Amino acid sequence: MGLKSRAVMVAGAGIAGIQAALDLAEMGIKVHLVEESPSIGGRMPQLDKTFPTNDCSMCILSPKMSESVRHPNIKIYTTTTIDSVSGIPGDFTAKIVERAKYIDQEKCVSCGLCEEKCPVKVDDIFDMKLRKRGAVSRYFLQSIPSEYTIDPHNCLYLNKGVCRLCEKVCPAGAINFDDKDKIFEINVGAIILSGGIDSYDPIHLGNFGYRRYKNVVTSLEFERMLSASGPLGGHVVRPGDHKEPKSLAFIQCVGSRDENINHNYCSSACCMFAIKEAMIAKEHIKDLESTVFYMDIRAFGKDFDKYYEKSKDKYGVEYIKSKVSDISEDDDGNLILKYVYENGDISHKQFDMAVLAVGLQPRKSIVNLSKSLNFKLNEFGFCRSDTNLPLATTREGIFVCGAMNGPKDIPESVTAASGAAAETLKFLRLERQDISAEKDAVQEKDVAGDRPRIGAFVCHCGINIAGVVDVKDVAEHARHLPNVEYAEDLIYACSQDCMNTIKERIKEYDLNRIVVAACTPRTHEPLFRETITEAGLNPYLFEMANIRDQCSWAHMNEPWLATVKSKDLMSMGVAKARELKPLKRLPIEINPKAMVIGGGLAGMTTAISLAEAGHEVYLIEKENELGGNLRNIFFDFDSDPQVLLADTISKAESNELIHIYKNAIIKKIDGFVGNFSTTVTGNNKNEEISFDHGVVIIATGADEHVTEEYLYGRSDRIVSQVELEDILKTRKFPGTRKPKNVVMIQCVGSREEGKMYCSRVCCTKAVKNAGVLKNILPNVNIYIIYRDIRTYGFREKHYSELRDKGAMFIHYTPENKPIVELVNEKDTDSQVKVTVFDPIVNKNIEIQADMLVLATAIDAKKENIDLVKMLKVSLNTDGMFLEAHVKLRPVDFATDGIFVAGLAHCPKDCDESITQAKAAASRALTFLNKKAILAEGTICEVNDSRCTGCGYCVHICAYNAIELDPEKGTARVNDALCKGCGACVASCRCGALDLRGFTNGQMFGVFDSLEMTNVIDE
């Protein structure tokens, strides 16, 4: 191993790369985030909404994008590719090439004049060619970095030596045609690959008429059509005639589950993608008919089945289990779908538009990358990784996350990203960060008691604001507002020049509050805060008026009104600034130890990861041995689960930093992030052990559902899939002769009223166990009675292999469940009769089974509720732990310092549990690796003399940050937990709560200064 560098390269800045970078950066690791396209963000910015919450994709992503660009430990390289990686783990040297951008990124102010004047119009890749852009352009509206770049393949000057129009119009002088590719050599200890995937191009499948028929689009194109910021502004029309479609067909598995094109895998996300689009489209178009043509609906993720059911019950999306064989077009551009049912019947139906659920496939560039970086690909061309090491590539020190090593949805990608971040740590030098040591801090000026002396600055943003708003008039208006000592308009307030101007004015006019009217605080407030800090002002003495987003953009056709509104916003900004007070961010110390609850695969894996990163861990297991559910699993496709179990236990038990408590019961957990204190009883029930720790990881697992259906428990011949594993291991089959007919029934206790979720692993388990059985008894007949076969990802291969081996698959619906009878109930050796309706032959069939195997559900543990009470976290309606955000915070809780991994979160396979366990370790380390964290400055405070202790705020607070002081009878805010959302302030009728930086007084000042609105108040 090398020198142990303190840096990591993350290659690919989609959501996975961003998450990995943020986690590492928060642990104090320097991250080089390398991205091939001109902006970070990856696929998510192209999506309209995300399942299963229908959150706006961009809205949930952009805070993470902003955070990564602002983070001092993250350096972003866009339009950059990796050339080579040399060296050894812990001491790699990566050679990366940044393509010439031809625009000086320091000078560019993103005003957009260049693109407006660019004579070249090319297809916009981001908008799936549904819109044109210039040869000079910004990748998408919310791009980060936001600067423009020139596309050398299409630029007239770079190709034909003429034009240079952009150079003439650029007000910032940023165009630089002499720009050259830049080569960087960076030293890193480990590398994370997060290069993402491409979607399958259906042009290769002639039968669907893609590109031949205009009204056939891909799911990603349709996503852009739905998007409010997309080329159609969210008004879905047929590309052929721009008419609103009245019927939509969604065709699944286009380029997935298709052996003919070497795509014998399931793309995992397209079913949910289609369900979402079918629903959202119905919200866009009244009376729209959405029909999904599918083979199996694979809604296997957390809360996905509820979403699927909702699409049927509430939205009326129609689902037809069939295979579309052909699409033809009539004279009006309508599409006629020809499709084949399970039983071979052929049908036709006409639709206005068809959406092809294109599968996911590896990027073309992965082949070269694998060669230059020397890692191997799997049989489908994805990056190869192992079941037990799901985040490692074949080259030591290089890890993989996101969909690069197999199709994944967003939360899986995010989880894998955090997990990969944890994996890199063994090649890095990790030190706990000391946040109090501020570097070169400028002495802060004490403004207490001083009269407000406000400086107001109005930004032109080139023509972005000044093209609509009369900025000089706004500055003049500001000059006459009370307490404004100085007002000025600036061409680009965020440029280095203008920032220096602001600093000089602060000195010159002894300003102690600053207002900038410009683009948006979302992106620029941190920058200006930093600027005034450098001039000796507390960063909270800054206020921003949002006159670009809210005035020049929103009212571009009414410049006069835009100016009036800008003045109002300026008045409000000044009114707020007048009342601003300096705020401090107080440090909260973090205890470096962790507690992991649950000693199964997930809990042990998290504990090992944390211990390997140098942290003490208390591992609490309520049974008398480690291992959890993994103890009962004996087979996997290409690895031995018991070897994994033994390895993991030995690693956990041999690590001195891991304190294992078996037979342990948690009595009490007190405290909050960084400062938890727990009491458990160990082997000796009378003895109580207490310890302090900084974080909690919940890995309590789940239970196997005990069914009462299908005569379970009435015969030795009726067993669960877990019990079957034991039989397969011991080869002790029930009865006296070897079984000839084995029936498996899927979804026993899953996907039903009251338990509307998929247990995710059972289909794969059935396929796996059936395969093992076939190996032991090659002549056995296997019948799998299923609702949807959900062998997602590469598991699909095993499904098709099993079919090739002759296993029979019979589809059933919950309305028509198979009927199980014992031929002779008294004789345990007699056979089991299973009667089921077979849609292929269209009648009931009877199977005399020697064994009936039930795929029983995964149930949430009833005891979860105890932890819920102690930790004040939440469960979902199925009793599984509810994460902070199902998409982007899949292992966190809303309450800081508490994380979840494994089956306690939702049903999942071993590799997924390992991934999530490592992710939980990574998230925990973002806290543990700091000596202290800083509480927000803008948090709530209680005025004791006004507080009546009514407890409204305690109920309202989503972060459990408020409690009633039993002595004083008043509310008390925990600075560490408060997120400054202000909900408690709104709930407090006594006015005892106030949000620092947004106090009632400040807000009243703001409202009262609103000049142009006719408020009748007296």
Partner 1 sequence: MDKNVPQGVKLGSKDKHKEAAVDLVRSAMKSGVIDSALLPMEVPSGDSYAWMLIKDEAFLAKAEPFAPTMPVNAANAVKRLTRKGTGKYKTAVLIRPCEVRAAVELVKLNQAHLDDLLLITYDCVGAVPTDDYIKDPAGKNKAFKTALVSGNFNSGIMKEVCSFCTDFSRTSSDLHLSLTDDGIFLSSNNVKGDDFLKNMKLEAKADLSKWYEKIESISSVRKNKKVQIFEKIKKDVDGLINFHKIFENCIGCHSCGSVCPICYCRQCFFDSTVNEQNSDLKFIRARQKGVLSFPPDKLMFHIGRLSHMSLSCVSCGLCSDACPVDIPVASVFSYVADQTQSAFDYKSGNSVGDALPMRDYKLEELGELGELSKSVDRQEGADA
Which lies closer to partner 1 via its Cβ, residue 263 or residue 565? 565
By rule CB under 8 A, what string of x and - marks binding of each residue 42-61 to partner 1? -----------xxx------
Choosing from 87, 122, 187, 315, the residue that interacts with partner 1 (CB under 8 A) is 315
Which lies closer to partner 1 via its Cβ, residue 295 or residue 950? 950
CA distance 115 to 141: 13
482's tokens: 């009370």
CA distance 896 to 884: 10
Shortest distance, position 992 Cβ to partner 1, whole Å: 8
Is 509 an interacting residue with respect to partner 1 (CB under 8 A)? no
Residues numbered 275 to 314 that lie near partner 1 (CB under 8 A) are: 283, 286-287, 314
Which lies closer to partner 1 via its Cβ, residue 384 or residue 578? 578
Closest CA to 46 of 148, 142, 154, 149: 142
Is 687 an interacting residue with respect to partner 1 (CB under 8 A)? no
Q: CB–CB of 93/373 below 8 Å?
A: no
CA distance 358 to 364: 16
Which range touches partner 1 (CB under 8 A), out of 204-212, 426-434, 887-895, 995-1003? 995-1003
Choosing from 185, 262, 738, 1004, the residue that interacts with partner 1 (CB under 8 A) is 1004
Is 657 an interacting residue with respect to partner 1 (CB under 8 A)? no
Q: Which residues pair with 669 in a beta bridge?
A: 678
Is 242 an interacting residue with respect to partner 1 (CB under 8 A)? no
Which range touches partner 1 (CB under 8 A), out of 69-77, 94-102, 889-897, 996-1004? 996-1004
Closest CA to 551 of 455, 466, 456, 481: 466
Is 1009 an interacting residue with respect to partner 1 (CB under 8 A)? yes
Choosing from 173, 206, 713, 1001, the residue that interacts with partner 1 (CB under 8 A) is 1001
Is 1014 an interacting residue with respect to partner 1 (CB under 8 A)? yes
Choosing from 688, 827, 946, 965, the residue that interacts with partner 1 (CB under 8 A) is 946
Is 969 an interacting residue with respect to partner 1 (CB under 8 A)? yes
Q: For the residues of 502-531, what is the DSSP string, one character each?
A: HHHHHHHTT--EEEEEES-HHHHHHHHHHH
Which lies closer to partner 1 via its Cβ, residue 416 or residue 474? 474
Which DSSP letter does residue 39 get? S
Residue type present at position 581: K
Choosing from 598, 952, 974, 993, the residue that interacts with partner 1 (CB under 8 A) is 952
Shortest distance, position 299 Cβ to partner 1, whole Å: 17
CA distance 442 to 943: 32
Q: CB–CB of 292/274 below 8 Å?
A: yes
Which range touches partner 1 (CB under 8 A), out of 141-149, 378-386, 689-697, 1006-1014? 1006-1014
614's tokens: 């140098």
Q: Which residue has the tokens 């955000």?
A: 885
For residue 421, the tally of other CB atoms under 10 A from its CB is 34
Closest CA to 537 of 440, 458, 441: 441
289's tokens: 């008919």
Is 964 an interacting residue with respect to partner 1 (CB under 8 A)? yes
Chain centre distance of CA 269: 13
Is 228 an interacting residue with respect to partner 1 (CB under 8 A)? no
CA distances from 863 to 401, 539, 873, 908, 972 (A): 33, 47, 14, 19, 30
Which DSSP letter does residue 902 get? G
Residues numbered 457 to 496 that lie near partner 1 (CB under 8 A) are: 482-483
CA distance 380 to 365: 14
Number of residues that bind partner 1 (CB under 8 A): 43
Choosing from 949, 962, 984, 995, the residue that interacts with partner 1 (CB under 8 A) is 949
Choosing from 97, 130, 845, 950, the residue that interacts with partner 1 (CB under 8 A) is 950
Phi/psi of residue 345, nearest 5 degrees: -65, 140
CA distance 618 to 657: 9
Its sign, for the CA torsion 794, 797, 798, 799, is positive
Which lies closer to partner 1 via its Cβ, residue 384 or residue 889? 889
Which range touches partner 1 (CB under 8 A), out of 236-244, 603-611, 776-784, 942-950? 942-950
Closest CA to 938 of 1002, 881, 874: 1002
Shortest distance, position 946 Cβ to partner 1, whole Å: 6
By rule CB under 8 A, what string of x and - marks binding of each residue 603-642 to partner 1? ----------------------------------------
Phi/psi of residue 582, nearest 5 degrees: -65, 140
Shortest distance, position 990 Cβ to partner 1, whole Å: 4
Shortest distance, position 313 Cβ to partner 1, whole Å: 10
Shortest distance, position 605 Cβ to partner 1, whole Å: 34
Residues numbered 575 to 604 that lie near partner 1 (CB under 8 A) are: 575, 578
By rule CB under 8 A, what string of x and - marks binding of each residue 556-575 to partner 1? ---------------x---x
CA distance 101 to 307: 43
Chain centre distance of CA 374: 29
Q: CB–CB of 508/535 below 8 Å?
A: no
Binding site residues, partner 1, CB under 8 A: 53-55, 283, 286-287, 314-315, 482-483, 571, 575, 578, 945-952, 955-956, 964, 969, 987, 989-991, 999-1001, 1004-1005, 1008-1009, 1011, 1013-1018
